């Protein structure tokens, strides 16, 4: 089996590469600028030398078509595009082009080549918007509240359209938050973990955060890439919500992280209103029942486990949680 992973240099791309290599796949990785990409996550997992890297710009159809044609994959996993919700408010056009247009370009390449390629599209729980009431499943109404979520929603419906109109085996995984030691520090979870460690060691005095009352469903990233793979092994393509089914406030995440280094978070966290987003989601609730029934997938690790693994990695980088 051959797989093309577009966005291979990110957290999910690295863990998915590791999973597929362990299953005997030949893995090609798509990157917008391979010459200037360190591929540090693949290096950290000691798998970089086992991957064939292709240059691909998602917003350029010819670039996408060439990468798909040359790699000739059985499966394509689209994990590419701008990944930050916060940054999407500053870069709305780039966000939409890299996510929505990029997804259409991949689907068009599959249609043009007329090969039985299975396609996985990375969707996001952000598409559901603010879940003040109700628990989201794959039939729940989208109400996106950020440029990132709008782009992901558009990509989701393009996948659905190409599946119905052209018979392409195309799936979207609507993933809730999933974390790991491979997260960069611009993500709030890693920002909290590293700040707690630095404050405990005297390297940092305080941590500035925005809205700590938001609720999210946090899971363990290495488990979530297994769900992606399972979607493409089903007899028929479908869309799935992936999460733990448990939601917690960011305040609780902070409290547990600081307690793990024997600190009281209230003594060190500063609420910084400049970090508030123009439209933030207060609640995020997941119903992953369909994934259990059809994929036989269930999250084994919950938020406290995730914090423990990430903190252990920071305190002892040789820890093999990743």
Alpha-carbon distance of 241 to 246, in angstroms, equals 13
**Residues 75, 97, 126, 179: which is the catalytic one?**
126
Return the number of other C-beta atoms located less than 10 Å from residue 205's C-beta: 10
Q: Is 90 marked active-site? A: no
Alpha-carbon distance of 218 to 202, in angstroms, equals 28
User: What is the β-pairing status of strands 219-220 and 178-179?
Assistant: parallel
| CB 231, CB 295: distance < 8 Å | yes
Q: Is 126 marked active-site? A: yes
Tokens encoding 150 = 């709008």
**Residues 15, 25, 120, 148: which is the catalytic one?**
148
**Residues 71, 98, 124, 180: which is the catalytic one?**
124
Beta-carbon contacts of residue 70 (< 8 Å; ≥ 6 apart)? 54
Query: Positive or negative, the Cα torsion across 135, 138, 140, 145?
Result: positive
Beta-carbon contacts of residue 143 (< 8 Å; ≥ 6 apart)? 128, 129, 130
Helix (H, G, I), strand (E, B) or coil at 198: helix
Estimate the crossing angle of helix 11-22 against helix 221-231, to 10 degrees.
60
Q: Is 124 marked active-site? A: yes
Q: Which residue bears the tokens 């991957």? A: 51
Give catalytic residues, as residue numbers. Answer: 124, 126, 148
């Amino acid at each position: 089996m051959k797989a093309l992973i577009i966005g291979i240099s990110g957290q999910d791309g690295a863990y998915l590469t590791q999973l597929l290599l362990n299953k005997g796949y030949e893995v090609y990785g798509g990157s917008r600028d391979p010459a200037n990409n360190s591929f540090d996550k693949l290096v950290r997992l000691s798998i970089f030398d086992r991957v064939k890297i292709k240059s691909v710009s998602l917003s350029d159809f010819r670039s996408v078509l060439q990468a798909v044609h040359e790699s000739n994959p059985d499966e394509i996993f689209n994990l590419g595009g701008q990944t930050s919700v916060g940054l999407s408010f500053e870069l709305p056009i780039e966000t939409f082009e890299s996510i929505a247009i990029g997804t259409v370009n991949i689907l068009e390449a599959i249609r043009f080549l007329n090969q039985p390629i299975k396609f996985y599209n990375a969707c996001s729980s952000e598409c559901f918007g603010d879940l003040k009431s109700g628990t989201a499943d794959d039939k729940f109404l989208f109400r996106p509240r950020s440029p990132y979520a709008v782009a992901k929603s558009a990509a989701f419906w393009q996948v659905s359209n190409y599946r119905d109109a052209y018979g392409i085996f195309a799936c979207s995984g609507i993933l809730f938050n999933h974390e790991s030691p491979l997260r960069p520090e611009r993500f709030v979870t890693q920002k909290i973990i590293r700040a707690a460690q630095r404050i405990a060691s005297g390297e940092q005095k305080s941590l500035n955060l925005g809205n700590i009352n938001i609720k999210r469903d946090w899971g363990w990233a290495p488990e979530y890439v297994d769900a992606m793979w399972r979607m493409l092994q089903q007899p028929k393509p479908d869309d799935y919500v992936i999460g733990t089914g448990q939601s917690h406030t960011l305040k609780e995440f902070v409290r547990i992280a600081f307690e793990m280094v024997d600190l009281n978070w209230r003594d060190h966290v500063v609420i910084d209103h400049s970090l508030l987003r123009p439209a933030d989601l207060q609640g995020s609730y997941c119903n992953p029942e369909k994934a259990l029934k059809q994929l036989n997938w269930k999250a084994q690790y919950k938020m406290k486990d995730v914090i423990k693994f990430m903190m252990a990695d920071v305190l002892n980088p040789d820890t093999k949680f990743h």
